[in-house]
Amino acid sequence: MQIRRYQPADAGALAQIFFDAVRLGAAPKYTAAELAAWAPERPSAAAWAQRLDGLTTVVAESPSGLLGFMSLRSDGYLDLAFVRPDCRGTGVADALHSEILTEACARHLHRLTTEASRMARPFFLRMGWHLIAAQTVQRNGQSIENFRMAKSLKISAEKQPAVNPMSPLIRNHSDRLG
């Protein structure tokens, strides 16, 4: 598996990952009505490219295709974090999260925030995030529970990564998933 920066040609595949992660992957934690409101249909590639515009997005890729992605706003908000349902528990999310942390440190961010689903909350807790509060959001007329979470980053002169946030990114994680 390799982690790299999002490219516009990835938009259609990432839209499918989002849709499948919500509709299939989150099914054990949400009702059918909540899932349909959250992702009523698969976004088009053009709509998803527009959704990702302005975000720093990293993708996990294997020879079989894209496996997942995470997107960070410039203010430290982790906006999107989705993995194909068949890749859960394989290290894909861990590798993407690690890259997002590297990016955040390179930007000298001191805190990350997110709104995690019921499905994602245990992952973020395991990664050292803290629960701020449960909340209910409205999506297409449906109330859906999620969780405001935060992670403090410690950035010191000796621990700052020697990474230019605008540099090309390709990292192999062959020890994870082939």
b/e for 123-151, b at 16 or more Cβ within 10 A?
bbeeeebeeeeeeeeeeeebebebbebeb
Mean pLDDT by 10 residues, the chain (178 residues): 96 97 94 94 96 97 96 97 94 96 94 96 96 95 95 69 47 46
Residue type present at position 93 = A
pTM: 0.86
Q: For the purposes of burial, counting CB atoms within 10 Å of the CB of 164, is it exposed (0-12), middle (13-18) or buried (19 or more)?
A: exposed
* pLDDT, position 154: 84
* pLDDT, position 160: 45
* pLDDT, position 58: 98
Domain ranges of the chain: 2-162
Q: At what angle do helices 45-52 and 11-20 cross, to 10 degrees?
A: 90
Angle (CA) 69-65-124 rounded to 5° is: 25
Architecture of domain 2-162: 3-Layer(aba) Sandwich (3.40)
Which tokens sit at 47?
Answer: 């709509």
* pLDDT, position 156: 59
